[in-house]
């Protein structure tokens, strides 16, 4: 399967890229420019080889990356997500779009700062063509944990969406990464509740210098 990660240059995206490449997927790293995309692909590709992964990792400009793939993961900063997607909306047809985006306000404590739509996931669905199927996921996995291949990812991944087939695909992609368990929480509207947990986890991680996430038992 072809998967792109828009804005896929940070440690969060790095972990997903390498793990999915290891599972045999063709992964495209999207960035604002082809030059930055190529540089990120080369850097992450080198790290993948250190993990024994010889998968196909390439870079493309964000619009071309979205156009070329069946699954698109939005790894853009929250403040630039809507504007960037509006600018490349003609690159989208019927892809499954995964949103781990969490709008936050940073101060003495980190707090949830949702858009008028109620959640980043709903805003993304409203921004893209109706034929696109948005699934929210991966909000609460620590970026350092994703990029640490020595430590098991013993976390639950809550997913939300309005299309059952799209959610089933995200469950499959999630559980290809060892020890992760995907849990369907319902419609895309529920995303705001999952997004809102993320600032709590970040505040706890800062206080305790730990990589907390969530697990349902």
Quick: pLDDT tens for 10-20.
889 999 999 99
Predicted confidence at residue 11, as pLDDT, reads 82
> In this structure, are residues 167 and 159 in contact, taking their beta carbons and an 8 Å threshold?
yes
% of the chain with per-residue pLDDT over 90: 91
Residue 120 has pLDDT above 90, yes or no: yes
Residue 54 has pLDDT above 90, yes or no: no
Distance from C-alpha of 19 to C-alpha of 16, rounded to nearest angstrom: 5
Predicted confidence at residue 60, as pLDDT, reads 98
Task: Give every CB contact of residue 161 below 8 A, 6+ residues apart in sequence.
Answer: 133, 134, 135, 136, 167, 170, 187, 188
Residue 55 has pLDDT above 90, yes or no: no
Predicted confidence at residue 151, as pLDDT, reads 84
Residue 124 has pLDDT above 90, yes or no: yes
> In this structure, are residues 76 and 7 in contact, taking their beta carbons and an 8 Å threshold?
yes
> In this structure, are residues 171 and 196 in contact, taking their beta carbons and an 8 Å threshold?
no
Predicted confidence at residue 48, as pLDDT, reads 95
Predicted confidence at residue 9, as pLDDT, reads 84
Predicted confidence at residue 3, as pLDDT, reads 98
Distance from C-alpha of 149 to C-alpha of 120, rounded to nearest angstrom: 29
CATH 1.10.3720.10 fits 2-208, yes or no: no
- pTM of the predicted model, to two decimals? 0.97
DSSP state of 189: G
> In this structure, are residues 11 and 146 in contact, taking their beta carbons and an 8 Å threshold?
yes
């Amino acid at each position: 399967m072809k998967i792109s990660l828009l804005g896929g240059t940070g440690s969060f995206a790095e972990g997903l890229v390498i793990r999915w490449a290891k599972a045999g997927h063709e992964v495209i790293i999207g960035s604002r420019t082809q030059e930055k995309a190529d540089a990120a692909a080369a850097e992450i590709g080198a790290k993948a080889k250190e993990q024994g992964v010889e998968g196909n990792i390439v870079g493309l400009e964000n619009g071309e990356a979205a156009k070329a793939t069946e699954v698109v993961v939005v790894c853009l900063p929250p403040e630039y997500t809507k504007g960037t997607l509006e600018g490349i909306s003609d690159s989208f047809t019927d892809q499954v779009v995964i949103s781990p985006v969490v709008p936050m306000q940073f101060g003495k404590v980190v707090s949830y700062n949702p858009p008028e739509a109620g959640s980043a996931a709903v805003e993304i669905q409203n921004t893209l063509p109706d034929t696109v199927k948005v699934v929210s996921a991966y909000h609460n996995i620590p970026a350092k944990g994703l990029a640490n291949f020595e430590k098991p990812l013993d976390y639950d991944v809550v997913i939300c969406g309005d299309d059952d087939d799209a959610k089933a695909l995200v469950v499959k992609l999630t559980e290809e990464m060892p020890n992760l368990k995907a849990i369907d929480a319902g419609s895309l509207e529920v995303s705001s509740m999952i997004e809102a947990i993320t600032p709590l986890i970040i505040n706890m991680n800062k206080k305790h210098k730990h990589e907390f996430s969530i697990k349902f038992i």
